[in-house]
Amino acid sequence: MAGLEGVGQPRQRVSATAARWVPAADDEQALKAVELYGNPTDAEVRLPSRPESAATARRLTQCVVLRQWALPAQTGEYAVLLVSELVGNAVRHTGARVFGLRMLRRRGWIRIEVRDPSRGLPCLMPVGEMDTSGRGLFLVDKLADRWGVDLLPRGKTTWFEMRVADR
């Protein structure tokens, strides 16, 4: 990202072990989330801008990536972690009442988008080894193959894309 050329940051892939699931219980919750809020592959799902909505977004992502798209567990783990980071940013930094979640799949790629009404751009900051916060976009930058922000007439969409093997 702009302005970070030459900034030393670890280049290895980060493990997403914190995003592991207990399959049966979480699978049921994920299906309930899709039933209650809708499928983010059909249309944008609007969620209240509250911290607890991150769990709903994670469940929706889990259901789509693992069940509907039948992608590998590691892809699901990374997608769930990155959705959590984007949703956290939307909830903490935009002052919005709601945000939108959309998931798209095309040949060889998945794309996950979080839309909010703020036009304030997220900023990728250098991360120190002992930092306890501010790692969200750093994780997105390390785990996603591509990410960015699209400004809209009223707000923005922050997105990431990951390469996937086609069935």
Whether the CB-CB separation of 101 and 45 falls below 8 Å is answered with yes
User: What per-residue confidence (pLDDT) applies to 19?
Assistant: 39
Which pLDDT score, from 0 to 100, does residue 22 have?
A: 43
Do the beta carbons of residue 23 and residue 49 sit within 8 Å?
A: no
Give the pLDDT confidence score for residue 61 in this predicted structure. 95
Given this model, what pLDDT does residue 167 score?
A: 62
Q: What's the per-residue H, E or C state across 32-88?
A: HHHHHHCCCCCCCEEEECCCCHHHHHHHHHHHHHHHHCCCCHHHHHHHHHHHHHHHH
Q: How many residues does the chain have?
A: 167
pLDDT means per 10 residues in the chain (167 residues)?
A: 36 39 62 88 95 94 94 96 94 89 97 95 76 75 95 95 88
Q: What is the pLDDT of residue 138?
A: 86
> pTM here?
0.79
